[in-house]
Structure 1
Amino acid sequence: MPRSFNARALSAAACLTAGLTLAACSSGSDSGDQVKGNLSAAGASFPAAIYQRWFQDLSSKGVNVNYQSVGSGAGVRQFTAGTVDFGASDKPMKPEAIAKVSRGVVQIPMTAGAIAVAYNNPSCKLELTQDQLAAIFLGKITNYSELGCDDKKINVVHRSDGSGTTFNFTNHLSAISPEWKANVGADKSVKWPTGVGAKGNEGVSAQLNQIDGGIGYVELAYVKGDLQAAALQNASGAKVMPTNATASEALGSIDLGPNLIGSNPNPEGGYPIVTFTWVLAYETGNDNNTPVLKKTFEYMLSDEAQSKAPELGYVSLPPEVVTQAKAAANSIN
């Protein structure tokens, strides 16, 4: 069975691999802090803000993670090619994609959050129905006056790169709009009916701040500067703002399943566009990096790390999900 990673559980060989002395391994004190190393990772921009905070904290514990926020699509490609120590994606890998990774794949939920519809129009308070939301991104609603605000052109901004944020946003649009599902669909990249593209959550947020009347979709942590978030209608008909509490309510409706990859594109309760986001780890062949990876994932799933999620615009994982995620992380070797 997989074992929790701590100094007492390490075999002698693993201890030596991790750079620990046998005395340290057999001592009664916790020697986890003696595991040190460097890791490279790439992927989703959705969790980049909290990952960077966690990796900054980890650097003081002897683990340095170079995380490149390149989008879920690029992260999956780099992970599949074996050019990083782990990847990150807001859309779980499908079986046919996993089959291309000879070392096997472990998908570990690490944090969660809301995808906000962010807009740059300070004089307007948007509360959108599901029909209005779809019509904006279909290019059928083109002026804020059609939404009960003063006359101003709507300028749509969407992701230009392959993105798990895009997948989750378009998956919601497909769930609420038959027209969107038939003509555009849900994927990490789609053929947008309207708007201009920007790279990453960071890029969309920056672009929206520069465009008067801009509207787009970003992880809640990126609603900053002149931007505000719209209230969106959920499946029960309520119009809900994205907050930690409303996102948590919606996430509670998601059954992750045995492989920890579940979703709900149109929840009845809470804010309607929410997602978990996953670290992609190699099941085997991690060799000397195994203790460093386990220390990294152990910290990311710790109470200390998870407690920082709300202040950074994310949602802490439910305790039962943390338990499942830790078991998944411990299965790598």
Structure 2
Amino acid sequence: MQRTGEENDLTRNRSLAAALAVLGTAALALTVLTGLAGATSKKDSITGAGSTFVAPLVAQWTAHYSAADINYSAVGSGAGIAQISARTVDFGASDAPMTKDQFSACHGCVQIPWAFAATSLPYNVSGVGYGLKLTGPIVANIYLGHIKKWNDKRIKAINKGVNLPNEDIVPIYRSDGSGTSYNFTDYLSHVSKEWKNKIGKGTQPAFPVGVGARGSSGVAAKLGSTPGGITYVDVAYAYKNAYHIAKLRNRAGRFILPTVRSLTVVSKTVKRVPKGNAISVVDPPKTVKFGYPLCTFTWVIVPIQTAKAPQLKSFINWAVTKGQSYGHPLLFLPIPKVVVTAAKKTTAKLHT
């Protein structure tokens, strides 16, 4: 029997778990070796902090970029913005575009889009396999506390033939300042008026129910030890931990997994980059029939004036061009050409 495109994508994505484990080990080894070499070399060094979402990709960049030693701490987007604002690092990384107040506090910083991926919705439901169907409004009602059981009639209605247990739903969220939380709540604000009016979007929203954990690795670990749990995390972490991931209904009415195909069609919708480089691609229009509705860009944040301007310009320009090739096994797809152009244009502003 001939496989559908989605089944082929799913087969390829399941193999990512093993690939990610190998990449993680290799990146760690190479990072250690890079650090040891740096102790005796005269290479420049650049320090950064922030997003845990983009950390797997930055680990690959750290291992393969040869012009400088890159030292990156995955402390969360909020902490990364705080550290670059305080100038305790050379760059920050965030999965949420900065607010006006954050720009003001950063005293002359710019945000540069440098990666594109997706937020997945993994779950730990007894007896339920891969690809449980969910909709945006259902997810919003789970995190609002309105849907409390996995066999709720609204979930059953779109999952015919699935034996859903009478199991408590445990929403798991990021307790730290998180760009992934921004992406998730930006999406929920698009699909639920109640969410938009009561909670809204942000890096550290006031989730009314559930349990919190720090970082992508924290929520992933919490999910593994929580029967009935559901969370939101970058797709690389979900595949690395071999979690079951939900199919999310898009505006075209199709239930879609985060795959290379479903992310690619969303990235192709970006035809222009707004001033300030704040790009949102959540909940794309119904014309994007096979698009996954919870995609995001992620940004590097740097001061326009900095003593490390030459090193940062070289690294960022490499990251948005040659560095993109290291993202595919992690489901970070190459950023569109129009975004590369905007990134280079902004990077060119950096000076000492």
Same fold at TM > 0.5: yes
* Deviation sequence 1:104-128 (CA, Å, 0-9, x none): 1121111011111111236324111
2:62 is the alignment partner of 1:45:
no
* Deviation sequence 1:140-192 (CA, Å, 0-9, x none): 21222122323322211100001111011011111111111111111111111
Aligned to 1:307: 325
2:220 is the alignment partner of 1:205:
yes
Quick one: distance in 1 between partners of 2:333 and 2:216?
17
Query: What SS does the aligned partner of 1:143 have?
Result: coil
What is the TM-score of this pair, normalised by structure 1? 0.84
Q: Aligned to 1:91, which of 96, 101, 109?
A: 96
Aligned pairs for 1:212-227 (under 5 A) are: 212-223=227-238, 224-227=240-243
Aligned to 2:69: 64
* Deviation sequence 1:225-263 (CA, Å, 0-9, x none): 351210111122221111122122223334431322121
Aligned to 2:110: 106
Quick one: distance in 1 between partners of 2:277 and 2:118?
18
Structure 1, 169-178 or 307-316: larger mean CA deviation: 307-316
Task: Give the drift of 1:35.
Answer: 8.8
Q: Is residue 170–residue 229 contact of structure 2 (8 Å, CA) maintained in 1?
A: yes
2:177 is the alignment partner of 1:162:
yes
Task: Give the drift of 1:101.
Answer: 2.9
Quick one: distance in 1 between partners of 2:87 and 2:51?
17
Quick one: distance in 1 between partners of 2:347 and 2:52?
21
RMSD over aligned Cα atoms:
1.8
Quick one: distance in 1 between partners of 2:166 and 2:249?
23
2:274 is the alignment partner of 1:257:
yes
Task: Give the drift of 1:324.
Answer: 2.0
Q: For residue 330 of structure 1, what is the amino acid of its counterpart? A: A
Q: Is residue 117–residue 331 contact of structure 2 (8 Å, CA) maintained in 1?
A: yes
Quick one: distance in 2 between partners of 1:142 and 1:296?
47
Query: Comparing both structures, which one devotes a greater share of its residues to helix?
Result: 2
Aligned to 2:21: none
Larger Rg: 1
Aligned to 2:145: 139
Aligned to 2:347: 329
Quick one: distance in 1 between partners of 2:59 and 2:126?
30
Aligned pairs for 1:2-81 (under 5 A) are: 36-58=43-65, 61-81=66-86
Q: Which runs of 5+ in 1 are unaligned?
A: 1-33
Q: Which runs of 5+ in 2 are unaligned?
A: 1-40, 157-163
Distance 1:251 1:259, change over 3 A: same
Identity across aligned pairs (percent)? 36
Quick one: distance in 1 between partners of 2:106 and 2:229?
40
Quick one: distance in 2 between partners of 1:239 and 1:141?
20
Q: Aligned to 2:256, which of 232, 236, 240?
A: 240
Task: Give the drift of 1:39.
Answer: 1.3
Q: Displaced runs of 4+ in structure 1, greater than 6 A?
A: none
Quick one: distance in 1 between partners of 2:45 and 2:226?
40
Q: Aligned to 2:335, which of 293, 309, 317?
A: 317
Q: Is residue 126–residue 228 contact of structure 2 (8 Å, CA) maintained in 1?
A: no
Aligned to 1:282: 303
Distance 1:122 1:150, change over 3 A: closer
Quick one: distance in 1 between partners of 2:67 and 2:283?
42
